[in-house]
Chains A and B, each alone.
Chain A
């Protein structure tokens, strides 16, 4: 099925560094969501974006809904060991219940 283009696929960073990842699509979405998945667990919702141009923060996390409605990014500032995991973006079209997922970004942090 269709997937969003999420990049990078993996990141290896030092603790304390900032992280940036993004998702793009060839079609428009009305909602963008960012989830984090720890090994052996289900995804946990981090940030939900409902409006083009919207910039939303959740602690050290900041996400933006692109103006064109075809992209979104997630930034993590001052990374800490518990940020390790897989981050998924997901888009939802207007009136649709289903989510379209990105391939995920695997974040590894060296202490």
Chain B
């Protein structure tokens, strides 16, 4: 149990376009989901906490208008990177919380050309 999926696993886009990443908890309901960003050879950096039915809470320094988060159901949260630029290229990972333990998705590799 506690399986989390992400889609797509990889995406390449042109600078200026928007990209949506989906995070789903497959076998449990998650009131809270989290979005992380990970640079090569570094630890996970929390971007925002997503609560079902309410606005996401963003970490300091993360632009909420740049990284739009929607948590419309207990099994789905989406992260939209708007007007993507090469510096947004990174590995984005979501997690879903079940009984206060976070279970991670497989990640999405975003490359912005």
- Partner-B contacts on A (CB < 8 A): 1, 3, 31, 33, 35, 40-45, 48, 88, 90, 92, 97-99, 101-104
Residue among B2, B43, B95, B101 with max Cβ neighbours from chain A (10 Å): B43
Given A97-B49, A101-B43, A102-B43: A31 in contact with B100 (beta carbons within 8 A): yes
Q: Are A42 and B45 within 8 A (Cβ)? A: no
| CB pairs A–B below 8 angstroms (5 shown) | A41-B106, A42-B95, A45-B2, A99-B102, A101-B44
- Could you say which residues of chain B place their CB within 8 Å of the CB of A43? 44, 93, 104
Query: Within the complex, which residue of B2, B97, B106 is in contact with A42, where a contact is CB–CB below 8 Å?
Result: B106
Q: Are A1 and B104 within 8 A (Cβ)? A: no
> Which chain B residues (39-55) contact chain A, with CB distance < 8 Å?
42-46, 49
- Could you say which residues of chain A place their CB within 8 Å of the CB of B102? 33, 45, 90, 99
- Could you say which residues of chain A place their CB within 8 Å of the CB of B109? 40
How far does the alpha carbon of A44 sit from the alpha carbon of B44 in the complex, in Å?
13
For A95, the closest partner residue in chain B by CB is: B100
Interface size class of B (residues with CB under 8 A): 20 to 34
For A48, the closest partner residue in chain B by CB is: B101
- Could you say which residues of chain B place their CB within 8 Å of the CB of A104? 42-43
How far does the alpha carbon of A94 sit from the alpha carbon of B11 in the complex, in Å?
37
How far does the alpha carbon of A61 sit from the alpha carbon of B100 in the complex, in Å?
22
Indicate whether B58 reaches chain A with its CB closer than 8 angstroms.
Answer: no
Query: Within the complex, which residue of B4, B43, B60, B104 is in contact with A103, where a contact is CB–CB below 8 Å?
Result: B43
Residue among B32, B44, B95, B107 with max Cβ neighbours from chain A (10 Å): B44
Q: Are A41 and B100 within 8 A (Cβ)? A: no
- Given A1-B59, A45-B101, 13 more pairs with CB closer than 8 A: A1-B45, A1-B46, A1-B60, A33-B102, A40-B107, A41-B106, A42-B93, A42-B95, A42-B105, A42-B106, A45-B104, A98-B49, A103-B42
Q: Are B43 and A44 within 8 A (Cβ)? A: no
Question: How far is the CB of B92 from the nearest CB of chain A, in Å?
Answer: 10
